[in-house]
Structure 1
Amino acid sequence: MNWDDTPEQAAFREEVRAFVRDRFPPSYGPDTEAEQSLEPEDVLGYTWPADRSGPDPVRREGARAWAAALAERGWIAPHWPVEYGGAGLSPMEEFILLEELMRARVPTVNGIGAFLLGPTLLVHGTREQKAEHLPPIARGERTWAQGFSEPGAGSDLAALRTRAVRDGDGYVIDGQKVWTSLGQYADWLFVLVRTDPDAEPRHRGITFLLVDAATPGVTVQPIVDLRGDTPFCEVFFEGVRVPESCRVGEENRGWYVAMTALGFERAGIGATIKYEQALNDLVAYVRSPEGRARTRTDRGASFRREIARRHTEIRVLANLARYTVSRQAAGAEPGFEASVNQLFGAELHQRLARTGAKAFGRSGALWERAGAPLNGTFTHMRRDAVAATFLGGAAEIQRNVIATRGLRLPRS
């Protein structure tokens, strides 16, 4: 299969590169002390939802100026229809745009709202829901977080216990969500709730609701991870009233809406570019005079073979992402192929982190960035990688999806 750009795609790629050169705010530089966000489309030194509302006025204004520049072109949500603030780009043009933003190491904007909720509303939302929620996302004015996982019901999403009880023309929600990525910065949440506790099988009693984070009864508490950072939070719902107009899809059929959202979550190119850049940085460093002095001297042929394997695996991941987007270009929604992408990428993340640790030997244990090889990038990557095989769906769940939906194997 030929993945080379067509002349039109090559011209669009150059257009994106020129746009970044001309419009990215020079004052909005990366925070070299910040931890890497765990979201696939975020780049080192930037967490756009936090930057746009943070205490630093320079970063805050830079984040908002960058969002405004992207919004002018419809490039916050490039694949959406123009009527909702998108640019109407083809799936491949969107792929090229995201690829070039990642290669330029500048942040994307409104990731969860633009890449998960928005496409889901375009498939399942009412005309009124699209008109209310999509334009603010496309302008960078409203951020979203995903409220799916719960204590005791993370990978087994059908076991969720957060309840929503009918009350007049709406619902009253009680329960708890956990590991909600960047939820402390979100204006709105999209959540799964149980509306039929007696449904069998369990996933048939789940409903998909949109919740304003400012609604009385919503409490958000950041969670500190093993790096000392707070990339996610837990959210408590106590008597939270939500109107019926905030339900997406039918009552008790929210599982199928959620599967659409998760398909879009697992289909991105962002991780591929980050791994490619990390490996290239590692190779350049070990070849440099400083690198030759500070990395292990017994690497030899075995280490070179390991670097070659990582390079090959990154190209495989890139082709998986391109295959997924080619299906979208043909009119198909992301399917089990997106789970292959997610699983392979998560395990590659861990292998790449271990490769870096081997290169640096004892220096790979240096946590403080100042004075550490490559600014401690691979030390921090190794900590990040601990969660890779259960973020966005545990490896076991991904294998089940691949087996049952892809290979058509029996469930038992």
Structure 2
Amino acid sequence: MNWEDTPEEAAFREQVAAFVAEHFPAAYRPDPAAEHSLEPEDVWGYNWPADRLSEDPDRREGARRWAAALAERGWITPHWPAEYGGAGLPAALEFVLQEEMMRARVPTVNGIGAFLLGPTVLAEGTDAQRAEHLPPIARGERTWAQGFSEPESGSDLASVRTRAVRDGDDYVVNGQKVWTSLGQYADWLFVLVRTDPDAHRHKGLTFLLVDTATEGVTVRPITDLRGDAPFAEVFFDDARVPVANRVGEENRGWYVAMTALSFERAGIGATVKFEHALSSLVDYVNSDAAKPYLRPDTAVLRQEIARRYAEVRVLYNLARYTVSTQAAGGVAGYEASVNQLFGAELAGRIARTGAKAFGAFAELWQRTDSPMNAAFTHLRLDSVAATFLGGTTEIQRNVIATRGLGLPRS
């Protein structure tokens, strides 16, 4: 494959940069302390759903104005067809758009609805479902969260126990979901429920779309070990969900869910996030502000930073390879697991490299009077989650071994 931009891609980069400079609201400043970068795809946009509901009027209005500007060009959902509010961009140009926005540190918008739920409804939904749900996502007016994980059923989706029982034109849903990223800000959820408890565990599941305002649905934020609340738990207590909100056939939800997960992004966000972290570390280490905190053995630190930079470029090339596969009409299979595994473990290595620069000062938790505002202290804890978000590292290795290398399962 060609690792360089084509003339079309290079011109589009310039177009995106000019658009951001002209249209990003000057008063809109996403709060870095509230930017839970657990989801690597949306570096500065992950918390956009919270920004649109913020108590800060500048942040709230800025989030909405930025969404409107992107929506006018179809850039909230750049790969969707124009009839549903997209721009119909090919995979390579969508990649360029995401990369340039992240490098400019401006939010992408409506992430999980745009890149997971929307393509799933396009592929598996009805015409009525497309007409109802896709345009509000493309306009930045409706946000979504994913309701797959449950207590004791995290990466093993086939063990879902939330029940849905058919009652006329409704399903009556009871159960609990957990680790629902930004669920407290979502207008709608897409969930896996068990509709046939006697069937094989993969064959008794159904994929439902649930309005969070439905009676019997309760969303509670979960505070993590940093004291932040990037996710929520969701309870269903006799919640009635219309059968019309079912995507695909009853008891065939496993296959719809696998369709959804096949639309995971290439991982360009992780690359940009890590580049920003390393560049900021280098700038700080070379500044006078670092002198009270910096360890004296900087030669070792320089070597570690160089290794991390090389690894970040590897991650970037993995992302480009995934996009090139998609652009050629293929589907990223085990390669997506390679990307996920490498990025998750690289997050931890970068966090440890940053912490080593400051020795005992890396234990300071407070943002004030700490080196780099304790950025790497927080990143060390953040990076732990990267090893199980989107599938644990053990699962990723199994996928690479069996699907990529053809090794036996036992």
Q: Specify if TM > 0.5.
A: yes
SS class of match (2:296):
coil
For structure 2, the 5+ residue unaligned runs are none
Residue in structure 2 matched with residue 173 of structure 1 by the alignment = 173
Alignment identity in percent? 74
Q: Are 1:87 and 2:87 matched, yes or no?
A: yes
Residue in structure 1 matched with residue 258 of structure 2 by the alignment = 259
SS class of match (2:400):
helix
Q: Is the 8 A contact 2:45 2:106 kept in 1?
A: no
Q: Is the 8 A contact 1:32 1:45 kept in 2?
A: no
Residue in structure 2 matched with residue 366 of structure 1 by the alignment = 364
Greater shift in the superposed pair: 87-96 or 154-163: 154-163
Q: Which of 379, 382, 389 in structure 2 is aligned with 1:384?
A: 382
Residue in structure 2 matched with residue 344 of structure 1 by the alignment = 342
Q: Counterpart amino acid of 1:223?
A: I
Residue in structure 1 matched with residue 105 of structure 2 by the alignment = 105
Q: Counterpart amino acid of 1:315?
A: R
Q: Is the 8 A contact 2:121 2:129 kept in 1?
A: yes
Distance 2:179 2:264 in 1: 15
Distance 2:267 2:134 in 1: 20
Residue in structure 1 matched with residue 304 of structure 2 by the alignment = 306
Distance 2:408 2:45 in 1: 45
Residue in structure 2 matched with residue 210 of structure 1 by the alignment = 209
Q: Are 1:72 and 2:72 matched, yes or no?
A: yes
Q: Counterpart amino acid of 2:395?
A: I
Q: Counterpart amino acid of 1:219?
A: T
Q: Is the 8 A contact 1:31 1:46 kept in 2?
A: no
Q: Is the 8 A contact 1:150 1:176 kept in 2?
A: yes
Deviation at 1:45, TM superposition (A): 8.8
Going from structure 1 to structure 2, the CA distance change for 1:98 and 1:140 (only over 3 Å counts) comes to same
Going from structure 1 to structure 2, the CA distance change for 1:251 and 1:409 (only over 3 Å counts) comes to farther
Q: Is the 8 A contact 1:41 1:102 kept in 2?
A: no
Distance 1:165 1:358 in 2: 54
Q: Is the 8 A contact 2:148 2:157 kept in 1?
A: yes
Q: Is the 8 A contact 2:180 2:233 kept in 1?
A: yes
Q: Are 1:188 and 2:185 matched, yes or no?
A: no
Q: Is the 8 A contact 1:266 1:339 kept in 2?
A: no
Residue in structure 2 matched with residue 402 of structure 1 by the alignment = 400
Aligned residues, how many?
410
What's the CA shift string for 1:365-408, capped at 9, x where partnerless?
12111222222211111111121101111111112222222223
Going from structure 1 to structure 2, the CA distance change for 1:206 and 1:409 (only over 3 Å counts) comes to farther
Deviation at 1:293, TM superposition (A): 4.6
Deviation at 1:17, TM superposition (A): 0.3
Greater shift in the superposed pair: 142-151 or 122-131: 122-131
Distance 2:395 2:351 in 1: 23
Q: Is the 8 A contact 1:266 1:392 kept in 2?
A: no
Q: Is the 8 A contact 2:188 2:212 kept in 1?
A: yes
Residue in structure 2 matched with residue 318 of structure 1 by the alignment = 316
RMSD: 1.5
Residue in structure 1 matched with residue 287 of structure 2 by the alignment = 288
Distance 2:14 2:302 in 1: 34
What TM-score, normalized to structure 2? 0.97
Q: Counterpart amino acid of 1:399?
A: R
Distance 1:70 1:297 in 2: 47
Going from structure 1 to structure 2, the CA distance change for 1:259 and 1:266 (only over 3 Å counts) comes to farther
